[in-house]
Amino acid sequence: MKLVVGLGNPGPAYLRTRHNVGFLAAERLAQRWKVPLRKKGCDAVFGEGEFSGFPVAVALPQTFMNASGRSLGCLLERWKLKPAAVLVLCDDVALPLGMIRLRGKGSAGGHLGLASILEELGTQEFARLRIGVRPAAGVEKNLTPFVLGKFGAPEGKDLEQALASVIEAGELWLSRGLNAAMNRFNQKIKQGE
């Protein structure tokens, strides 16, 4: 089985904020894969199912972002999974809105949710799919108000493009592995598409 984990903050105040784009992306994958997110445990809402013959679980940690690792560690223990079976979905202010980037390992890059996961798991060896949220005009030095702000109507088209790419990348990761997904989607970044 493989596990997709969307990062975000729980509660209605954070719905459709840039920092919660990981939740939004995971919910879209769960919907597409017909995995109902109804179960609760490990400080998460999650569901289990199958897509194209591949067993999969989708989870949304209900801790705040900077404690996501605790929830993920518990979920891995629950299903006896290795970190290599995980795909973490999160926001990235360094990437333009509409772009995604996949990596099989690496640092947190300033992302508190990823930092929590790195600390909890004690390894960088898990896949992460970063979803760009940076607008064309750039952002101020104080990122907190920006990432906790909601997506505006003008950003809708680029956001939907990113979510469509996440679905394709998630399905490729599930069926053919991380390298196949990286080869397809990271190429777009290199070419500036």
Distance, CA of 96 to CA of 41 (rounded, Å): 34
User: Residue 130 — pLDDT band, cuts 50, 70, 90?
Assistant: very high
User: Residue 188 — pLDDT band, cuts 50, 70, 90?
Assistant: low
Give the model's pLDDT for residue 190: 45
What is the domain partition of the chain in residue ranges? 2-191
* Pick from 98, 89, 92, 112: nearest CA to 25: 89
Which one of 3, 4, 5, 19 is the catalytic residue? 19
What average pLDDT does the structure give for the chain? 92
C-beta neighbour count of 159 within 10 angstroms: 21
* Pick from 9, 11, 61, 52: nearest CA to 34: 52
User: Residue 193 — pLDDT band, cuts 50, 70, 90?
Assistant: very low
Q: pTM of the prediction? A: 0.93
Report the topology of domain 2-191: Rossmann fold (3.40.50)
Q: Tokens representing 75?
A: 């979920």
- Checking if the pLDDT of 92 tops 70, the result is yes
Alpha helices by DSSP H, 3-155: 21-32, 68-79, 112-121, 143-147
Distance, CA of 128 to CA of 130 (rounded, Å): 6
Query: Any catalytic annotation for residue 111?
Result: no
